[in-house]
Amino acid sequence: MLSFFRQCLLLVWLAGFVYAIYNIAEHWDYDIKAPDVEAMLANRVDAETLKQSVEGALRAEEFDEARSLIVIGQKYGHSLDYVAYNTYLTKHDTSTSRMTKQVTGFAEGFFSGKGEDASGVAGALAADFTVVGDLRDLSEQFSNYQDGQPVNQLITTLAGIGVGLTAVTIGSGGMAAPAKAGASTLKLAARMNRLTRSFRDELMRIGAKVFDWQQFLRLSKGADLTSISRVAKQSYNPQAARSLGALAEQANGIRKNTSVVDSIHLLKYVENTDDLRSVNRLSQRFGIHTRGVFRLLGKTAIRGVKALRITLELLIAITSSIFFGLLFISTIGGGDRKRLKEAED
C-alpha cells in the first residue's frame, strides 16, 4: 500500500515539475536594452580609429562629417591634433568653394534625381517636392517597361506614392508634408542604392498595398507623358497610405534631425522598420553628429543587448520547478533507503 502511495506521489511531483518547466518556457522572455552609446564613444573608440575617420572624411571632402567627428573626439576626451584639423578645414572649406558646389550640385540633383553631395541630394529632393521628380521616375520606369527593360518596382512604387501624397499635401494644407518628405527621402536612397536588401523588401511589401505599380504600367499603355500623373493617382490607394505614413515620417525625422545627405547615408544601416525607428531615436539625441557616431560605431550604435525579463510569473515558475524537483528526488531517495533498511534486516 505504501509503495502504491509513493508511486502516486512520484507522479504528482513529476507532473508538477513538468508543468512548472512549461510555465518557465511560457514566461521566459527578453527585453532589448538600448546600447549605451555615450559609454561606447568614450571607451570603445580609440584615438587611432578616430584619427583615421577624421582624415578619411577630409580626403573625401566630407567636411561636415569631419567637423562632427572632431566634436565627438573632443567631447569624449580623445587626444588628437585638433588644431591642425581645424586649420585644414579653414583653408579648404571656404564659402566660395561651397557656393560653387552648391549651385552645380543642386542643378544636377534636380534633373538627375541623384546627388553625391549635400547640394545634389537637396536638388533631387526639391524636384520631388514639385512632383517633377516623381513624374520623371514614373516616366523613366514606364519607358523601361515599354522597351522590355527591367522595371525597378520599388522606385516605381515610391514615385507613385509620392504623386498621391503630393495631392494629399496640397488638399490638406500641408498636413501630409512630413510623410511626403519621408517617402521622397526613401526613394532617393533607393535610387542611390543606399538601402539594404532586407529593408528594400520590407518597403516593397508595405508600399505595394498603397500603390499598385503593375496596374499603373498597364493603364499607362498608350498614354502620353501628361497623363502619367492622372494614371498614377488611379493606382494609388489613400486608405492604405497610413501603413506607410508612420514609416515615412520616421525617415523624415532622421532628415530633419541631421541633414538631407546624412539621412541618405544613415539609411544604409537600416535592416528593418525597427532599425529605422532606432536610427531616428538616436538622431534625436545626437542631431547633426549622428553620422559621425555611426562612422565610429557602425550598427552597434543601434544593436540592443538582450536582458532576461524577470517577472513574478517567471520567479514562481522557477521556484515551483525546484520545489517539485526536490520532492521528486526526496521521494525516490526515501524509497531507496527503506528498501536498503529492509534488506539489512
pLDDT in tens, 249-262: 999 999 999 988 89
C-alpha cell at 282: 538616436
Same domain, 140 and 249: yes
Find out whether 165 and 211 touch, Cβ atoms under 8 Å. no
Distance, CA of 77 to CA of 74 (rounded, Å): 5
Number of domains in the chain: 3
- Backbone dihedral angles phi then psi of residue 131, each to the nearest 5 degrees: 65, -5
Same domain, 187 and 245: yes
* Confidence at residue 216, expressed as pLDDT on a 0 to 100 scale: 92
Question: In the 8-state DSSP scheme, what is residue 308?
Answer: E
Same domain, 253 and 153: yes
Distance, CA of 233 to CA of 174 (rounded, Å): 18
Same domain, 320 and 302: no
The answer to whether residue 23 sits within a structural domain is no
Same domain, 229 and 284: no
Question: In the 8-state DSSP scheme, what is residue 236?
Answer: B
The answer to whether residue 297 sits within a structural domain is yes
* Full domain range(s) for residue 83: 32-93+275-307
Q: Mark 19-41 as b/e (b = at least 16 C-beta within 10 Å).
A: ebbebbeebeeeeeeebebeebb
The answer to whether residue 105 sits within a structural domain is no
Same domain, 294 and 317: no
The answer to whether residue 74 sits within a structural domain is yes
Same domain, 207 and 245: yes
Q: Which residue has the higher pLDDT, 109 or 179?
A: 179
Residue 173 pLDDT > 80: no
Give the Cα-Cα-Cα angle 86, 87, 90 (nearest 5 degrees).
85
Same domain, 136 and 187: yes
Least confident residue range of 16-30, 32-46, 221-235: 16-30
Position 343 confidence tier, pLDDT thresholds 50, 70, 90 = very low
Residues facing 126 on adjacent strands: none
Same domain, 296 and 325: no
What is the CB-side half-sphere exposure of residue 199 using CA atoms within 13 A? 23
The answer to whether residue 194 sits within a structural domain is yes
The answer to whether residue 101 sits within a structural domain is no
The answer to whether residue 211 sits within a structural domain is yes
Position 29 confidence tier, pLDDT thresholds 50, 70, 90 = low
User: Which residue stretches of the chain are H helix?
Assistant: 2-27, 37-43, 47-59, 63-75, 82-92, 95-112, 118-129, 132-146, 153-171, 177-191, 197-207, 213-219, 228-234, 242-257, 260-266, 273-286, 290-297, 312-344
* Confidence at residue 180, expressed as pLDDT on a 0 to 100 scale: 84
Distance, CA of 306 to CA of 303 (rounded, Å): 10
The answer to whether residue 124 sits within a structural domain is no
CB-based burial label for 77 (10 Å; 0-12, 13-18, 19+): exposed
pLDDT in tens, 320-330: 777 766 766 77
pLDDT in tens, 69-97: 999 999 999 999 999 999 999 998 887 77
* Confidence at residue 310, expressed as pLDDT on a 0 to 100 scale: 63
Same domain, 287 and 318: no
Mean per-residue pLDDT, 165-183: 77
Same domain, 198 and 221: yes
Same domain, 250 and 323: no
